[in-house]
Amino acid sequence: MAVEVLDGDEIRTNLSKGLGFSKEDRDTNIRRIGYVCRLLSRNGVAAISAAISPYREVRDEVRRLIEADGAAFVEVYVKCPIKVLAERDVKGLYKKALAGELTGFAGVSDPYEEPLAPEVVIESNREAVEFSVTKILRELERRKLLPEVEADEHSTPVRSALDAESLELLTDVRVLA
């Protein structure tokens, strides 16, 4: 199974250089990621978008476009209290934002609109990574996007795409298959 992970930083470098973090620029960035996910998913490539996408409206717009092509959109909300994110954050950005040193920081000094009806919610502060991964894989199986397998037999590409490090660092993941 072909899988592409569209990392937020990589997309900003390759498709969105020059865009900032205003609502308008964030929306444009997400629309571009959505467009690429659409090209991939309608050709049978599972596209995993790991971008910070704080605005509900543009997320739903991308969902509609993907689904209009007959592909599936699986929104995975990786939920975690800001306090825990600040403790984990290797770049120290959350602490700076909480101290008022960073403006426009999603979830602290800028809005973060929680998904209203995500297909999967991961509570990354209270779940083991293996448990969270299994929740996602079970949802993909339930929707016939992955063949049903035993819990310990999941295929390597999906596992490596959703490895422990990714899940720890992400605050918000969308899986588009």
* Residues in region 14-33 near a second copy by CB under 8 A: 14-15, 17-18, 28, 31-32
* Interface with a second copy, residue 112, by CB under 8 A: no
Comparing C-alpha atoms, which of 165, 175, 168 is closest to residue 138? Answer: 175
Q: Which residue has the tokens 């660092």?
A: 169
The secondary structure of 93-130 as a DSSP string is: HHHHHHTT--SS-BTTTB-----SS-SEEEETTTS-HH
* Known catalytic membership, residue 53: yes
Contacts with a second copy by CB under 8 A: the residue count is: 16
Interface positions, 45-104, toward a second copy (CB under 8 A): 45
Q: How far is the CB of 40 from a second copy (least distance, A)?
A: 6
Q: Which amino acid is at 148?
A: E
End-to-end CA separation in angstroms for the chain: 11
Interface residues toward a second copy, by CB under 8 A: 2, 4, 14-15, 17-18, 28, 31-32, 35-36, 39-40, 43-45
Question: Catalytic residue numbers?
Answer: 53
